[in-house]
Amino acid sequence: MGFWPVLKKNFRIMFNSKLSILILIFGPLFLMGIMGAALQNNELRDIQASVFSHEESIDYLLENDWYVDSYLDQLRQNSFIVRQVNSINECKDDVLNSRAHVCIEVVKKPPIKLPNTKFSQDINYETQAYVDFSKSRIVWGVIAKTQAVSESHSKVLVQNVLVQYKEKLEQPMNDLRGAYAELDNALVLLDNIDSNLNSAKEKQDQLNADSKSLNIAFGNLKSKVQTTVSTVNKIAGLDSSIYNSVNELNTAFQETDAKYQTLYSKLNMGDVLSSINNAQSFVSQVDGNLRTVKNKIDNVLEVWNGISQMNYADLAPLSFSYQSVTEDSQIKGTVSRPRLEFLDYLFPSFLMFFIIFVSLVFATVTTFKERSSKAHIRNVTSRTSAVSFILGNFISIFFILALQIAVILGVSVFFLRASILANSFPLVAYSFIGIVLFALLGIALGYIFNSQDGAVIASVSLSLLFLIFLPVITAPETLPLGFSKIVNVMPFVILESKLRLASIFNIFSVPSALEFLSLACSFLVSVILIFYFYYRRRRLEI
Protein backbone atom coordinates (compact mmCIF):
# COMPACT_ATOMS: atom_id res chain seq x y z
CA MET A 1 0.00 0.00 0.00
CA GLY A 2 2.93 2.31 -0.69
CA PHE A 3 0.73 4.28 -3.07
CA TRP A 4 -1.74 5.26 -0.33
CA PRO A 5 0.09 8.46 0.82
CA VAL A 6 0.41 9.53 -2.83
CA LEU A 7 -3.29 8.94 -3.40
CA LYS A 8 -4.21 10.87 -0.24
CA LYS A 9 -1.89 13.72 -1.18
CA ASN A 10 -3.37 14.01 -4.68
CA PHE A 11 -6.92 14.11 -3.35
CA ARG A 12 -5.94 16.63 -0.67
CA ILE A 13 -4.43 18.85 -3.35
CA MET A 14 -7.61 18.54 -5.36
CA PHE A 15 -9.95 19.19 -2.45
CA ASN A 16 -7.86 22.17 -1.35
CA SER A 17 -8.73 23.86 -4.63
CA LYS A 18 -12.36 24.91 -4.98
CA LEU A 19 -11.79 25.56 -8.67
CA SER A 20 -10.66 21.95 -9.20
CA ILE A 21 -13.82 20.66 -7.54
CA LEU A 22 -15.97 22.99 -9.61
CA ILE A 23 -14.27 21.90 -12.84
CA LEU A 24 -14.45 18.26 -11.78
CA ILE A 25 -18.20 18.34 -11.26
CA PHE A 26 -19.44 21.15 -13.44
CA GLY A 27 -17.07 20.53 -16.37
CA PRO A 28 -18.91 17.41 -17.53
CA LEU A 29 -22.26 19.03 -16.66
CA PHE A 30 -21.34 22.02 -18.77
CA LEU A 31 -20.30 19.81 -21.69
CA MET A 32 -23.43 17.70 -21.45
CA GLY A 33 -25.55 20.84 -21.19
CA ILE A 34 -24.05 22.34 -24.33
CA MET A 35 -24.29 19.09 -26.22
CA GLY A 36 -27.83 18.42 -25.03
CA ALA A 37 -29.00 21.91 -25.95
CA ALA A 38 -27.23 21.81 -29.31
CA LEU A 39 -28.34 18.39 -30.41
CA GLN A 40 -31.64 17.68 -28.72
CA ASN A 41 -33.69 19.43 -31.35
CA ASN A 42 -31.53 18.28 -34.19
CA GLU A 43 -33.88 17.51 -37.05
CA LEU A 44 -33.04 16.12 -40.44
CA ARG A 45 -35.19 17.31 -43.29
CA ASP A 46 -35.85 16.11 -46.85
CA ILE A 47 -34.65 12.60 -46.21
CA GLN A 48 -34.76 10.65 -49.44
CA ALA A 49 -36.37 7.30 -48.71
CA SER A 50 -36.92 4.38 -51.08
CA VAL A 51 -39.65 2.09 -49.79
CA PHE A 52 -40.24 -1.52 -50.75
CA SER A 53 -43.16 -3.43 -49.22
CA HIS A 54 -44.04 -7.11 -49.50
CA GLU A 55 -45.74 -9.97 -47.69
CA GLU A 56 -43.60 -12.53 -45.97
CA SER A 57 -46.12 -15.30 -46.51
CA ILE A 58 -48.57 -15.82 -49.37
CA ASP A 59 -51.23 -16.54 -46.76
CA TYR A 60 -51.37 -12.86 -46.07
CA LEU A 61 -52.59 -11.19 -49.18
CA LEU A 62 -52.62 -7.52 -49.88
CA GLU A 63 -55.73 -6.94 -47.84
CA ASN A 64 -53.81 -4.69 -45.49
CA ASP A 65 -52.15 -2.55 -48.13
CA TRP A 66 -53.71 0.45 -46.37
CA TYR A 67 -51.01 0.04 -43.74
CA VAL A 68 -48.25 0.69 -46.26
CA ASP A 69 -50.19 3.59 -47.76
CA SER A 70 -50.71 5.25 -44.42
CA TYR A 71 -47.07 4.56 -43.51
CA LEU A 72 -45.93 6.33 -46.67
CA ASP A 73 -48.21 9.27 -45.81
CA GLN A 74 -46.70 9.36 -42.36
CA LEU A 75 -43.18 9.43 -43.84
CA ARG A 76 -44.12 12.27 -46.18
CA GLN A 77 -45.58 14.26 -43.30
CA ASN A 78 -42.25 13.91 -41.51
CA SER A 79 -40.01 15.48 -44.12
CA PHE A 80 -39.27 12.28 -46.02
CA ILE A 81 -39.22 12.35 -49.80
CA VAL A 82 -40.64 8.93 -50.55
CA ARG A 83 -40.18 6.79 -53.65
CA GLN A 84 -41.86 3.39 -53.81
CA VAL A 85 -39.80 0.73 -55.60
CA ASN A 86 -40.56 -2.75 -56.82
CA SER A 87 -37.72 -4.78 -55.42
CA ILE A 88 -35.42 -4.80 -52.46
CA ASN A 89 -32.38 -4.68 -54.74
CA GLU A 90 -33.65 -1.53 -56.40
CA CYS A 91 -34.29 -0.12 -52.95
CA LYS A 92 -30.75 -0.88 -51.75
CA ASP A 93 -29.24 0.36 -55.02
CA ASP A 94 -30.86 3.73 -54.40
CA VAL A 95 -28.91 4.01 -51.15
CA LEU A 96 -25.67 2.69 -52.61
CA ASN A 97 -25.90 5.15 -55.51
CA SER A 98 -26.80 8.04 -53.22
CA ARG A 99 -30.28 8.40 -54.70
CA ALA A 100 -31.70 7.78 -51.24
CA HIS A 101 -30.52 8.24 -47.70
CA VAL A 102 -32.40 5.18 -46.55
CA CYS A 103 -34.04 2.10 -48.03
CA ILE A 104 -37.07 1.05 -45.99
CA GLU A 105 -38.35 -2.49 -46.35
CA VAL A 106 -41.82 -3.12 -44.95
CA VAL A 107 -42.67 -6.79 -44.40
CA LYS A 108 -46.08 -8.03 -43.30
CA LYS A 109 -45.77 -10.71 -40.67
CA PRO A 110 -48.25 -13.25 -39.28
CA PRO A 111 -50.41 -12.19 -36.31
CA ILE A 112 -48.59 -12.06 -33.04
CA LYS A 113 -49.87 -13.39 -29.71
CA LEU A 114 -49.84 -10.52 -27.25
CA PRO A 115 -47.92 -11.21 -24.10
CA ASN A 116 -49.91 -11.10 -20.83
CA THR A 117 -53.23 -11.03 -22.66
CA LYS A 118 -55.63 -13.52 -24.27
CA PHE A 119 -55.47 -11.82 -27.63
CA SER A 120 -53.47 -11.88 -30.77
CA GLN A 121 -52.65 -8.81 -32.79
CA ASP A 122 -53.50 -8.99 -36.46
CA ILE A 123 -51.47 -6.01 -37.55
CA ASN A 124 -47.87 -7.07 -37.40
CA TYR A 125 -45.33 -5.49 -39.67
CA GLU A 126 -41.56 -5.38 -39.58
CA THR A 127 -39.73 -2.32 -40.80
CA GLN A 128 -36.11 -2.72 -41.83
CA ALA A 129 -34.01 0.32 -42.67
CA TYR A 130 -30.91 -0.02 -44.83
CA VAL A 131 -28.47 2.84 -44.53
CA ASP A 132 -25.04 3.74 -45.83
CA PHE A 133 -22.70 4.02 -42.89
CA SER A 134 -20.13 5.86 -44.95
CA LYS A 135 -22.43 8.86 -44.59
CA SER A 136 -21.77 8.66 -40.92
CA ARG A 137 -22.49 12.27 -40.12
CA ILE A 138 -26.18 11.81 -40.83
CA VAL A 139 -26.73 8.09 -40.75
CA TRP A 140 -27.73 7.94 -37.11
CA GLY A 141 -30.07 10.85 -37.62
CA VAL A 142 -31.67 9.06 -40.58
CA ILE A 143 -32.06 5.89 -38.51
CA ALA A 144 -33.49 7.89 -35.62
CA LYS A 145 -35.97 9.70 -37.82
CA THR A 146 -37.09 6.57 -39.70
CA GLN A 147 -37.48 4.79 -36.42
CA ALA A 148 -39.46 7.73 -35.03
CA VAL A 149 -41.90 7.69 -37.94
CA SER A 150 -42.21 3.89 -37.88
CA GLU A 151 -42.89 3.78 -34.19
CA SER A 152 -45.31 6.66 -34.11
CA HIS A 153 -47.17 5.11 -37.04
CA SER A 154 -47.12 1.75 -35.34
CA LYS A 155 -48.52 3.35 -32.20
CA VAL A 156 -51.35 5.09 -34.01
CA LEU A 157 -52.30 1.97 -35.95
CA VAL A 158 -52.19 -0.37 -33.04
CA GLN A 159 -54.20 2.07 -30.96
CA ASN A 160 -56.79 2.29 -33.73
CA VAL A 161 -57.06 -1.46 -33.75
CA LEU A 162 -57.61 -1.38 -30.03
CA VAL A 163 -60.29 1.31 -30.30
CA GLN A 164 -62.07 -0.69 -33.00
CA TYR A 165 -62.01 -3.82 -30.86
CA LYS A 166 -63.50 -1.87 -28.02
CA GLU A 167 -66.23 -0.27 -30.15
CA LYS A 168 -67.29 -3.58 -31.68
CA LEU A 169 -67.60 -5.22 -28.30
CA GLU A 170 -69.44 -2.33 -26.62
CA GLN A 171 -73.06 -3.22 -27.76
CA PRO A 172 -73.00 -6.94 -26.91
CA MET A 173 -71.41 -6.09 -23.60
CA ASN A 174 -74.20 -3.60 -22.81
CA ASP A 175 -76.79 -6.31 -23.69
CA LEU A 176 -74.98 -8.66 -21.42
CA ARG A 177 -75.01 -6.14 -18.58
CA GLY A 178 -78.89 -5.90 -19.09
CA ALA A 179 -79.16 -9.71 -18.97
CA TYR A 180 -77.12 -9.65 -15.79
CA ALA A 181 -79.68 -7.36 -14.11
CA GLU A 182 -82.58 -9.61 -15.25
CA LEU A 183 -80.74 -12.61 -13.93
CA ASP A 184 -80.35 -11.00 -10.53
CA ASN A 185 -84.10 -10.28 -10.51
CA ALA A 186 -84.89 -13.92 -11.42
CA LEU A 187 -82.69 -15.13 -8.57
CA VAL A 188 -84.59 -12.95 -6.08
CA LEU A 189 -87.94 -14.24 -7.35
CA LEU A 190 -86.74 -17.81 -7.10
CA ASP A 191 -85.79 -17.13 -3.51
CA ASN A 192 -89.33 -15.82 -2.82
CA ILE A 193 -90.91 -18.89 -4.42
CA ASP A 194 -88.72 -21.16 -2.37
CA SER A 195 -89.74 -19.32 0.80
CA ASN A 196 -93.46 -19.50 -0.17
CA LEU A 197 -93.15 -23.20 -0.81
CA ASN A 198 -91.62 -23.64 2.63
CA SER A 199 -94.51 -21.67 4.11
CA ALA A 200 -97.04 -23.84 2.21
CA LYS A 201 -95.37 -26.93 3.59
CA GLU A 202 -95.75 -25.60 7.12
CA LYS A 203 -99.49 -24.81 6.51
CA GLN A 204 -99.96 -28.30 5.11
CA ASP A 205 -98.50 -29.82 8.26
CA GLN A 206 -100.83 -27.68 10.42
CA LEU A 207 -103.77 -28.72 8.23
CA ASN A 208 -102.88 -32.39 8.73
CA ALA A 209 -102.71 -31.99 12.49
CA ASP A 210 -106.03 -30.10 12.63
CA SER A 211 -107.61 -32.73 10.34
CA LYS A 212 -106.49 -35.53 12.63
CA SER A 213 -107.83 -33.66 15.70
CA LEU A 214 -111.06 -33.00 13.87
CA ASN A 215 -111.29 -36.69 12.96
CA ILE A 216 -110.85 -37.69 16.59
CA ALA A 217 -113.42 -35.09 17.73
CA PHE A 218 -115.79 -36.21 14.95
CA GLY A 219 -115.33 -39.88 15.93
CA ASN A 220 -116.16 -39.04 19.54
CA LEU A 221 -119.18 -37.04 18.36
CA LYS A 222 -120.29 -39.91 16.14
CA SER A 223 -119.91 -42.42 18.98
CA LYS A 224 -121.92 -40.20 21.33
CA VAL A 225 -124.66 -39.64 18.74
CA GLN A 226 -124.89 -43.38 17.90
CA THR A 227 -124.98 -44.31 21.60
CA THR A 228 -127.75 -41.76 22.20
CA VAL A 229 -129.81 -42.94 19.21
CA SER A 230 -129.39 -46.61 20.17
CA THR A 231 -130.22 -45.98 23.80
CA VAL A 232 -133.27 -43.86 22.95
CA ASN A 233 -134.56 -46.52 20.49
CA LYS A 234 -134.30 -49.24 23.15
CA ILE A 235 -136.34 -47.28 25.64
CA ALA A 236 -140.06 -48.19 25.18
CA GLY A 237 -142.90 -46.08 26.10
CA LEU A 238 -141.38 -42.80 25.30
CA ASP A 239 -143.14 -40.08 23.47
CA SER A 240 -142.86 -40.56 19.71
CA SER A 241 -141.74 -37.01 19.37
CA ILE A 242 -138.44 -38.01 21.01
CA TYR A 243 -137.98 -40.94 18.65
CA ASN A 244 -138.75 -38.68 15.76
CA SER A 245 -136.43 -35.99 16.86
CA VAL A 246 -133.63 -38.52 17.66
CA ASN A 247 -134.10 -40.17 14.29
CA GLU A 248 -134.04 -36.75 12.61
CA LEU A 249 -130.85 -36.08 14.55
CA ASN A 250 -129.46 -39.43 13.44
CA THR A 251 -130.44 -38.80 9.84
CA ALA A 252 -128.90 -35.32 9.96
CA PHE A 253 -125.74 -36.73 11.56
CA GLN A 254 -125.52 -39.52 8.98
CA GLU A 255 -125.66 -36.89 6.26
CA THR A 256 -123.05 -34.84 8.10
CA ASP A 257 -120.91 -37.92 8.60
CA ALA A 258 -121.06 -38.70 4.91
CA LYS A 259 -120.02 -35.17 4.13
CA TYR A 260 -117.31 -35.36 6.81
CA GLN A 261 -115.88 -38.59 5.39
CA THR A 262 -115.61 -36.85 1.99
CA LEU A 263 -113.99 -33.86 3.67
CA TYR A 264 -111.58 -36.11 5.54
CA SER A 265 -110.55 -37.85 2.38
CA LYS A 266 -110.11 -34.47 0.73
CA LEU A 267 -107.94 -33.22 3.63
CA ASN A 268 -105.47 -36.04 3.05
CA MET A 269 -103.19 -33.99 0.64
CA GLY A 270 -100.13 -36.24 0.22
CA ASP A 271 -99.93 -35.28 -3.50
CA VAL A 272 -99.77 -31.59 -2.66
CA LEU A 273 -96.78 -32.15 -0.36
CA SER A 274 -95.02 -34.21 -2.99
CA SER A 275 -95.70 -31.47 -5.54
CA ILE A 276 -94.31 -28.82 -3.24
CA ASN A 277 -91.17 -30.90 -2.58
CA ASN A 278 -90.84 -31.53 -6.27
CA ALA A 279 -91.20 -27.85 -7.04
CA GLN A 280 -88.63 -26.94 -4.39
CA SER A 281 -86.15 -29.35 -5.93
CA PHE A 282 -86.63 -27.70 -9.30
CA VAL A 283 -86.35 -24.24 -7.74
CA SER A 284 -82.98 -25.25 -6.26
CA GLN A 285 -81.76 -26.63 -9.59
CA VAL A 286 -82.84 -23.54 -11.50
CA ASP A 287 -81.16 -21.34 -8.87
CA GLY A 288 -77.91 -23.29 -9.25
CA ASN A 289 -78.07 -23.03 -13.02
CA LEU A 290 -78.77 -19.29 -12.87
CA ARG A 291 -75.78 -18.78 -10.60
CA THR A 292 -73.58 -20.70 -13.07
CA VAL A 293 -74.88 -18.41 -15.82
CA LYS A 294 -74.10 -15.44 -13.58
CA ASN A 295 -70.51 -16.65 -13.12
CA LYS A 296 -70.14 -17.07 -16.87
CA ILE A 297 -71.43 -13.53 -17.41
CA ASP A 298 -68.98 -12.35 -14.74
CA ASN A 299 -66.13 -14.02 -16.66
CA VAL A 300 -67.19 -12.41 -19.92
CA LEU A 301 -67.42 -8.98 -18.27
CA GLU A 302 -64.02 -9.46 -16.60
CA VAL A 303 -62.40 -10.28 -19.92
CA TRP A 304 -64.12 -7.27 -21.44
CA ASN A 305 -62.89 -5.15 -18.58
CA GLY A 306 -59.35 -6.40 -19.39
CA ILE A 307 -59.82 -5.34 -22.99
CA SER A 308 -61.16 -1.93 -22.06
CA GLN A 309 -58.17 -1.31 -19.80
CA MET A 310 -55.60 -2.41 -22.42
CA ASN A 311 -53.36 0.35 -23.64
CA TYR A 312 -50.55 0.78 -26.12
CA ALA A 313 -47.97 -0.64 -23.77
CA ASP A 314 -49.75 -4.02 -23.78
CA LEU A 315 -49.60 -4.24 -27.54
CA ALA A 316 -46.71 -5.53 -29.54
CA PRO A 317 -45.04 -2.60 -31.30
CA LEU A 318 -44.30 -3.10 -34.94
CA SER A 319 -40.64 -3.94 -34.96
CA PHE A 320 -37.99 -1.66 -36.42
CA SER A 321 -34.40 -2.57 -37.17
CA TYR A 322 -31.62 -1.24 -39.30
CA GLN A 323 -28.54 -2.52 -41.02
CA SER A 324 -25.84 -1.43 -43.39
CA VAL A 325 -26.70 -1.51 -47.02
CA THR A 326 -23.34 -3.10 -47.75
CA GLU A 327 -23.63 -6.81 -47.17
CA ASP A 328 -20.13 -7.32 -45.82
CA SER A 329 -20.74 -4.85 -43.04
CA GLN A 330 -21.49 -6.18 -39.62
CA ILE A 331 -23.24 -3.06 -38.49
CA LYS A 332 -26.82 -3.86 -37.73
CA GLY A 333 -29.17 -3.64 -34.84
CA THR A 334 -32.71 -3.65 -33.68
CA VAL A 335 -34.44 -0.98 -31.73
CA SER A 336 -37.32 -2.08 -29.58
CA ARG A 337 -37.21 0.73 -27.06
CA PRO A 338 -38.76 4.16 -26.80
CA ARG A 339 -38.01 6.39 -29.75
CA LEU A 340 -34.40 7.54 -29.64
CA GLU A 341 -33.10 10.95 -30.61
CA PHE A 342 -30.00 11.90 -32.54
CA LEU A 343 -28.35 12.67 -29.19
CA ASP A 344 -28.92 9.09 -28.04
CA TYR A 345 -27.08 7.77 -31.07
CA LEU A 346 -24.31 10.28 -30.64
CA PHE A 347 -23.94 9.74 -26.89
CA PRO A 348 -21.63 6.65 -27.01
CA SER A 349 -19.27 8.50 -29.35
CA PHE A 350 -19.41 11.59 -27.17
CA LEU A 351 -18.72 9.50 -24.08
CA MET A 352 -15.80 7.76 -25.79
CA PHE A 353 -14.41 11.04 -27.05
CA PHE A 354 -14.69 12.54 -23.57
CA ILE A 355 -12.89 9.53 -22.09
CA ILE A 356 -10.12 9.67 -24.71
CA PHE A 357 -9.60 13.40 -24.56
CA VAL A 358 -9.90 14.02 -20.85
CA SER A 359 -8.03 10.87 -19.81
CA LEU A 360 -5.13 11.56 -22.15
CA VAL A 361 -4.80 15.26 -21.45
CA PHE A 362 -5.52 15.10 -17.73
CA ALA A 363 -3.15 12.16 -17.16
CA THR A 364 -0.42 13.80 -19.24
CA VAL A 365 -0.68 17.15 -17.47
CA THR A 366 -0.94 15.61 -14.01
CA THR A 367 2.07 13.38 -14.62
CA PHE A 368 4.14 16.19 -16.03
CA LYS A 369 3.21 18.53 -13.20
CA GLU A 370 4.08 15.88 -10.65
CA ARG A 371 7.45 15.07 -12.14
CA SER A 372 8.34 18.75 -12.58
CA SER A 373 7.05 19.86 -9.19
CA LYS A 374 9.48 21.23 -6.62
CA ALA A 375 8.62 18.33 -4.34
CA HIS A 376 9.71 15.80 -6.97
CA ILE A 377 13.19 15.63 -5.45
CA ARG A 378 11.75 14.64 -2.07
CA ASN A 379 9.53 12.00 -3.69
CA VAL A 380 12.44 10.49 -5.60
CA THR A 381 14.74 10.40 -2.60
CA SER A 382 12.09 9.03 -0.24
CA ARG A 383 11.74 5.40 0.79
CA THR A 384 8.61 4.97 -1.34
CA SER A 385 9.18 3.07 -4.58
CA ALA A 386 8.69 4.44 -8.07
CA VAL A 387 5.97 1.84 -8.65
CA SER A 388 4.03 3.19 -5.67
CA PHE A 389 4.25 6.75 -6.99
CA ILE A 390 3.13 5.74 -10.47
CA LEU A 391 0.35 3.55 -9.09
CA GLY A 392 -0.77 6.25 -6.64
CA ASN A 393 -0.91 8.86 -9.37
CA PHE A 394 -2.69 6.47 -11.73
CA ILE A 395 -5.33 5.59 -9.14
CA SER A 396 -5.91 9.29 -8.36
CA ILE A 397 -6.33 10.06 -12.06
CA PHE A 398 -8.62 7.05 -12.47
CA PHE A 399 -10.87 8.08 -9.57
CA ILE A 400 -11.16 11.65 -10.75
CA LEU A 401 -12.00 10.61 -14.30
CA ALA A 402 -14.37 7.90 -13.06
CA LEU A 403 -16.17 10.55 -11.02
CA GLN A 404 -16.50 12.72 -14.10
CA ILE A 405 -17.85 9.83 -16.14
CA ALA A 406 -20.27 9.06 -13.32
CA VAL A 407 -21.43 12.70 -13.46
CA ILE A 408 -21.92 12.43 -17.22
CA LEU A 409 -23.80 9.14 -16.96
CA GLY A 410 -25.90 10.55 -14.12
CA VAL A 411 -26.82 13.66 -16.07
CA SER A 412 -27.42 11.61 -19.22
CA VAL A 413 -30.31 9.87 -17.51
CA PHE A 414 -32.18 13.18 -17.80
CA PHE A 415 -30.93 14.12 -21.27
CA LEU A 416 -31.31 10.89 -23.14
CA ARG A 417 -34.29 8.84 -24.10
CA ALA A 418 -32.15 5.73 -24.10
CA SER A 419 -32.32 4.16 -20.68
CA ILE A 420 -28.75 4.42 -19.43
CA LEU A 421 -29.58 2.95 -16.06
CA ALA A 422 -31.23 -0.11 -17.58
CA ASN A 423 -27.93 -1.25 -18.97
CA SER A 424 -25.48 0.49 -16.73
CA PHE A 425 -23.07 -2.40 -16.13
CA PRO A 426 -21.55 -2.64 -19.64
CA LEU A 427 -21.58 1.15 -19.94
CA VAL A 428 -19.68 1.54 -16.69
CA ALA A 429 -17.40 -1.43 -17.40
CA TYR A 430 -16.34 -0.24 -20.87
CA SER A 431 -16.06 3.38 -19.72
CA PHE A 432 -13.71 2.27 -16.96
CA ILE A 433 -11.65 0.17 -19.37
CA GLY A 434 -11.37 3.26 -21.57
CA ILE A 435 -10.28 5.42 -18.65
CA VAL A 436 -7.63 2.86 -17.63
CA LEU A 437 -6.20 2.53 -21.15
CA PHE A 438 -6.13 6.22 -22.03
CA ALA A 439 -5.03 7.39 -18.58
CA LEU A 440 -2.08 4.98 -18.80
CA LEU A 441 -1.25 6.31 -22.25
CA GLY A 442 -1.51 9.86 -20.90
CA ILE A 443 0.83 9.02 -18.02
CA ALA A 444 3.29 7.55 -20.54
CA LEU A 445 3.15 10.79 -22.57
CA GLY A 446 3.78 12.73 -19.37
CA TYR A 447 7.04 10.84 -18.92
CA ILE A 448 8.08 10.74 -22.58
CA PHE A 449 8.22 14.49 -23.25
CA ASN A 450 10.76 16.94 -21.89
CA SER A 451 8.49 19.96 -21.84
CA GLN A 452 4.95 20.38 -20.62
CA ASP A 453 3.99 22.08 -23.89
CA GLY A 454 5.28 19.12 -25.89
CA ALA A 455 3.45 16.65 -23.68
CA VAL A 456 0.15 18.55 -23.86
CA ILE A 457 0.37 19.05 -27.62
CA ALA A 458 1.14 15.36 -28.04
CA SER A 459 -1.81 14.28 -25.92
CA VAL A 460 -4.21 16.68 -27.64
CA SER A 461 -2.95 15.63 -31.09
CA LEU A 462 -3.27 11.97 -30.22
CA SER A 463 -6.80 12.41 -28.92
CA LEU A 464 -7.76 14.31 -32.06
CA LEU A 465 -6.27 11.52 -34.16
CA PHE A 466 -8.35 8.99 -32.24
CA LEU A 467 -11.38 11.24 -32.63
CA ILE A 468 -10.95 11.37 -36.40
CA PHE A 469 -10.97 7.59 -36.56
CA LEU A 470 -13.99 7.20 -34.31
CA PRO A 471 -16.73 5.57 -36.41
CA VAL A 472 -18.99 8.57 -35.87
CA ILE A 473 -16.53 10.76 -37.82
CA THR A 474 -14.93 8.31 -40.23
CA ALA A 475 -16.90 5.17 -40.97
CA PRO A 476 -14.62 2.13 -41.18
CA GLU A 477 -16.36 1.17 -44.45
CA THR A 478 -14.99 4.29 -46.07
CA LEU A 479 -11.38 3.41 -45.31
CA PRO A 480 -9.15 1.23 -47.50
CA LEU A 481 -9.74 -2.41 -46.57
CA GLY A 482 -6.40 -3.04 -44.82
CA PHE A 483 -6.62 0.24 -42.98
CA SER A 484 -10.19 -0.34 -41.86
CA LYS A 485 -9.23 -3.77 -40.50
CA ILE A 486 -6.58 -2.13 -38.34
CA VAL A 487 -8.87 0.70 -37.25
CA ASN A 488 -11.58 -1.79 -36.32
CA VAL A 489 -9.35 -3.38 -33.68
CA MET A 490 -8.05 -0.14 -32.23
CA PRO A 491 -9.07 0.17 -28.58
CA PHE A 492 -11.04 3.39 -29.02
CA VAL A 493 -13.08 1.90 -31.88
CA ILE A 494 -13.70 -1.32 -29.96
CA LEU A 495 -14.76 0.54 -26.83
CA GLU A 496 -16.92 3.01 -28.75
CA SER A 497 -18.79 0.19 -30.51
CA LYS A 498 -19.25 -1.64 -27.19
CA LEU A 499 -20.59 1.52 -25.58
CA ARG A 500 -22.96 2.00 -28.51
CA LEU A 501 -24.24 -1.57 -28.28
CA ALA A 502 -24.78 -1.13 -24.56
CA SER A 503 -26.43 2.29 -24.56
CA ILE A 504 -28.61 2.02 -27.66
CA PHE A 505 -29.25 -1.67 -28.09
CA ASN A 506 -29.05 -2.96 -24.53
CA ILE A 507 -26.45 -5.49 -25.59
CA PHE A 508 -23.52 -6.44 -23.37
CA SER A 509 -21.06 -7.52 -26.01
CA VAL A 510 -18.07 -9.39 -24.67
CA PRO A 511 -14.90 -8.57 -26.61
CA SER A 512 -13.81 -11.14 -29.17
CA ALA A 513 -10.41 -12.80 -28.79
CA LEU A 514 -8.87 -10.32 -31.24
CA GLU A 515 -10.46 -7.34 -29.49
CA PHE A 516 -9.36 -8.64 -26.11
CA LEU A 517 -5.83 -9.06 -27.45
CA SER A 518 -5.87 -5.49 -28.76
CA LEU A 519 -7.06 -4.08 -25.42
CA ALA A 520 -4.52 -6.17 -23.49
CA CYS A 521 -1.69 -5.12 -25.82
CA SER A 522 -2.60 -1.44 -25.46
CA PHE A 523 -2.57 -1.85 -21.69
CA LEU A 524 0.81 -3.58 -21.72
CA VAL A 525 2.38 -1.16 -24.18
CA SER A 526 1.30 1.81 -22.07
CA VAL A 527 2.63 0.22 -18.87
CA ILE A 528 5.94 -0.65 -20.56
CA LEU A 529 6.23 2.90 -21.93
CA ILE A 530 5.56 4.38 -18.49
CA PHE A 531 8.24 2.36 -16.73
CA TYR A 532 10.72 2.59 -19.58
CA PHE A 533 10.49 6.39 -19.74
CA TYR A 534 10.26 6.81 -15.99
CA TYR A 535 13.57 5.00 -15.44
CA ARG A 536 15.12 6.54 -18.55
CA ARG A 537 14.25 9.97 -17.25
CA ARG A 538 15.68 9.09 -13.82
CA ARG A 539 18.86 7.89 -15.53
CA LEU A 540 19.06 11.18 -17.41
CA GLU A 541 18.45 13.10 -14.20
CA ILE A 542 21.23 11.32 -12.34
Partner 1 sequence: MDGVTKSFGRKKILDNVSFSVSPGEVVGFVGRSGAGKSVLIKILIGFYKPDKGYVLISSNSKDPIGYSMQDNALYDQLTIRQNLHYFSEIHKISRRIKKERVELLINRLNLKEYENVLLKNLSGGTKKRVDVACALLTDPEIVIFDEPFLGLDPMLTDALADFIIALGKSGKAVFVSSHQTDVLNKISTRVVMLKGGKLYAIQKSQMREVY
Residue 372 contacts partner 1 per CB under 8 A: no
If the CB atoms of residues 382 and 461 are measured against partner 1, the closer one turns out to be 382
Residue from 235, 236, 481, 542 in contact with partner 1 (CB under 8 A):
542
The SS3 call for residue 16 is coil
What are the phi and psi torsion angles at 451 (to 5°)?
-115, 155
Q: Does 390 bind partner 1 (CB under 8 A)?
A: no
Q: Which stretch binds partner 1 (CB under 8 A): 172-180, 298-306, 374-382, 507-515?
A: 374-382
- 22 CB-near residues (< 8 Å, 6+ apart): none
Q: How far is the CB of 455 from partner 1 (least distance, A)?
A: 20
Q: What single string gives the DSSP state of each residue in 423-486?
A: GHHHHHHHHHHHHHHHHHHHHHHHHH-SSHHHHHHHHHHHHHHHHHTSTTTS-GGGS-HHHHHH
Contact between 99 and partner 1 per CB under 8 A = no
The DSSP call for residue 381 is: T
Q: Is residue 220 close enough to count as binding partner 1 by CB under 8 A?
A: no
| CA 132 – CA 48 distance, rounded (Å) | 12
Q: Using an 8 Å Cβ cutoff, are 399 and 24 in contact?
A: no
* Least gap, CB of 393 to partner 1 (angstroms): 13
- Does residue 501 belong to the site contacting partner 1 (CB under 8 A)? no
Angstrom distance (rounded) from CA 439 to CA 471 = 21
- Residue 27 sits in the site that holds partner 1 (CB under 8 A): no
Report in angstroms how near the CB of residue 449 gets to partner 1 at its nearest: 20
Query: Does residue 5 interact with partner 1 by CB under 8 A?
Result: yes
User: In whole angstroms, how large is the CA radius of gyration of the chain?
Assistant: 48
Least separation in angstroms between residue 378's CB and partner 1 is: 5
Residues sharing a CB contact under 8 Å with residue 23, sequence separation 6 or more, in sequence order:
none
Among 18, 63, 381, 513, binds partner 1 (CB under 8 A): 381
Exposed e or buried b per residue across 52-80, where buried means at least 16 C-beta atoms within 10 angstroms of its C-beta: bbebeeeeeeeebeebbeebbebbeebeb
201 binds partner 1 (CB under 8 A): no
Q: From 411, 436, 434, 432, select the one nearest 421 (Cα to Cα).
A: 411
User: Binding residue for partner 1 (CB under 8 A) from 376, 428, 452, 508?
Assistant: 376
Rounded least distance, CB 374 to partner 1, Å: 5
380 binds partner 1, rule: CB under 8 A: yes
Query: Which of 9, 294, 337, 339 contacts partner 1 by CB under 8 A?
Result: 9
Q: Does 452 bind partner 1 (CB under 8 A)?
A: no
Q: Does 137 bind partner 1 (CB under 8 A)?
A: no
Q: How far is the CB of 397 from partner 1 (least distance, A)?
A: 16
DSSP per-residue string spanning 333-356: EEE-SSPPPHHHHHHHHHHHHHHH
Task: Choose, by CB under 8 A, the member of 34, 179, 377, 387 that binds partner 1.
Answer: 377
Strands of 36-118 (E only): list them.
47-55, 80-84, 102-108, 112-113
For position 152 contacting partner 1 by CB under 8 A, the verdict is no
Number of shown-chain residues binding partner 1 (CB under 8 A): 23
Of 121, 151, 111, give the one whose Cα is nearest residue 314: 121
Candidates 41-49, 369-377, 508-516, 528-536: pick the segment binding partner 1 (CB under 8 A).
Answer: 369-377
Residues that bind partner 1 (CB under 8 A): 4-6, 8-9, 12-13, 16-17, 373-384, 541-542
